[in-house]
Amino acid sequence: MYMRSVIIKHFIFAISILLFGCKSSQPGTQNAGRSSGTEKLPISFGEKRKLDVTFSEGLVEKMKGNYPEAIDKFKRCLDVYPNHAASMYEIAYIDNGGGKSVEAIPYAQKAVSLDENNEWYRLMLGKCYMETDKFTEASAAFEKLVKLKPEKIDYYFMWSTALLHAGKMKEALEVYDKIEQIMGVTEEISVQKERIFLSQNQFDKAVVEAQKLINSNPGETRFYSMLAELYLQNNKADKALEICRKIFEIEPNEPQTHLMLSQYYKSISDEKQSFDHLKNAFSNPNLDIDDKVKIIIGFFNLPATMKVERAESDTLISILVKVHPRDAKTYSLQGDFLNRDGKSTEARDAFRKAIALDKTRYPIWQQVMVLDEMLGDFESMESDSKQAIELFPSEPYSYLFNSSANRQKKRYKEAIEAINNGKDYVAGDKKLLAQFYSELGDCYNATKEYKLSDENFEKTVNLDPDNAGVMNNWAYYLSLRNDNLEKAEKMGRKANVLAKDNPSYEDTYAWVLYKQKNYEEAKRWQEKALEHGGEKNGTLLEHYGDILYQLGQNDKAFEFWQKAKASGKYSDFLDKKIADKKLYE
């Protein structure tokens, strides 16, 4: 505390010396007076001393970031001396920096009126005008600043920007000409002038600006490209192509020019030349891979009927793999397209290559785990999710995949442990948390801990009341246990309302009705399931046979049991049913 106090005292003392000893053009105290005008009136030594000390204290508070306290000090200075321009400047500075530019303007205006040759006061006034969209006033402030400090080029840029915002294009061009006289031809100024000329339909003047850039640096192909684009945009293709030939003379395979030509030929429906130039651009390693990715993404949502364009995207991805074989983005993109085309195994291989190059991108890991599940490769899903958990312990989906994989492998203890470990990372996402409870419900059902299973399914439904899949599963589990069939019937019915024409859900509902001995209604729903795609599913065929048997249609039941047998998917009782032509459960 002692050292800090000493430092601050020395700081105040140093400021006081500066304030007493100089007549600076930058922020500082001025000769005192008590009027609200700009005239200077006498002030006593005691008042001057109080003014300087209070101002210094304000600067200290500002330096420490205590802005309300600083403003209070500066306003006390104005109580002592209403024409204290430095205090007005400091108040304006703090208000403007705190988003209160409207409140800052009167202080900045008064500071300028008291010291018209102070560079910093005028700069602050111009900034306040810009922040409050008073662009005409800002341009006038910056113009005076340029006259005050003509050697500072930044002020010319501020002036021109204010003029542009004020819609004074002619005046802005005049300022750009002044900047050019000082700096010579620059890309920034020429591009701005070009844009202004184009906005005023002065195409020839825009061309002159592009040509000036070329003349200033004849080896820079970007400037030629700017001119070529100007010609293309104004339907002067012949001149644009002539410029492109010059570009290729300087740099034979310049990729941006190939991209420009690709767009041009596409606009005139010359698809072959358009794609040839696109391939040339992609073959150049100097074209950033991010630019290539943006182009290929445009092919992603093409319908399957556009076979030529889809084949072109395959070609571009092949080039990408060849030119950028060590970039994870290459294989991530390749995986996306393969996945789109239903090539799940190849897509997973591509994503694995991306991971091998860059393990830090979790979305790719998630894609791999999704494909593991789609492919029914639960061994890989368990391994991949385990690695993902190690790398991204706070990503909840990895725990879901890990639990599901272990459950499929009948490792229920590990499955339950994974869910309980990952549940804490779900923050505010009710649907995701519902998935965790649903997974626990499945696990506890498998371990025959039915009370815990039902409790977790109840939590799931409370969090996600329109989750048809969970209601279907829970209803089926209850029907298999022959438990709480009334609840099972309600959930099975709601699942089919939420997801119509789903053969699996219709089969579940039919089976609940069967368990309730409502065989006619069960038959009607089972026929719906078969009609909506379940005619090749052995479980659904066997269920239909069981229903028919209960209705006394034994021969027909036997026929569907045989169909179930032929499908390869059936219960442990099916062979006995067929052998004895009798229902066993």
For the chain, the domain total comes to: 1
DSSP string, 396-440: HHHHHHHHHHHHHTT-HHHHHHHHHHHGGG--S-HHHHHHHHHHH
Q: Do residues 209 and 217 lie in contact, with contact meaning Cβ atoms separated by under 8 Å? A: no
Segment among 23-27, 76-80, 406-410, 540-544 with least mean pLDDT: 23-27
Which sign does the torsion angle of CA 557, 559, 562, 567 carry?
negative
Residue 192 lies in a domain: no
Q: Do residues 446 and 481 lie in contact, with contact meaning Cβ atoms separated by under 8 Å? A: no
Segment among 217-226, 341-350, 441-450 with least mean pLDDT: 217-226
Give residue 21's pLDDT band: very low, low, confident or very high (50, 70, 90): very low
Average pLDDT, the chain: 89
Q: Do residues 28 and 77 lie in contact, with contact meaning Cβ atoms separated by under 8 Å? A: no
Q: What is the CATH classification number for the domain harbouring 2?
A: 1.25.40.10
pLDDT of residue 480: 93
User: 0.75 cut: is pTM over it?
Assistant: no
How much of the chain, in percent, has pLDDT values that exceed 90? 71
Residue 348 lies in a domain: no
**First-to-final CA distance of the chain:** 86
Q: Do residues 335 and 351 lie in contact, with contact meaning Cβ atoms separated by under 8 Å? A: yes
Q: Do residues 279 and 319 lie in contact, with contact meaning Cβ atoms separated by under 8 Å? A: yes
Residue 231 lies in a domain: no
- Judged against a pLDDT cut of 80, whether residue 35 lies above it is answered with no
**Structural domain that includes position 95:** 1-129
Residue 19 lies in a domain: yes
The arithmetic mean of pLDDT across residues 559-576, rounded, is 91
Residue 59 lies in a domain: yes
pLDDT of residue 185: 85
Segment among 48-57, 118-127, 244-253, 576-585 with least mean pLDDT: 244-253
Q: CA separation (Å) from 98 to 84, 290, 411?
A: 22, 38, 59
Q: Do residues 186 and 180 lie in contact, with contact meaning Cβ atoms separated by under 8 Å? A: yes
pLDDT of residue 402: 98
Q: Do residues 159 and 150 lie in contact, with contact meaning Cβ atoms separated by under 8 Å? A: no
Residue 48 lies in a domain: yes
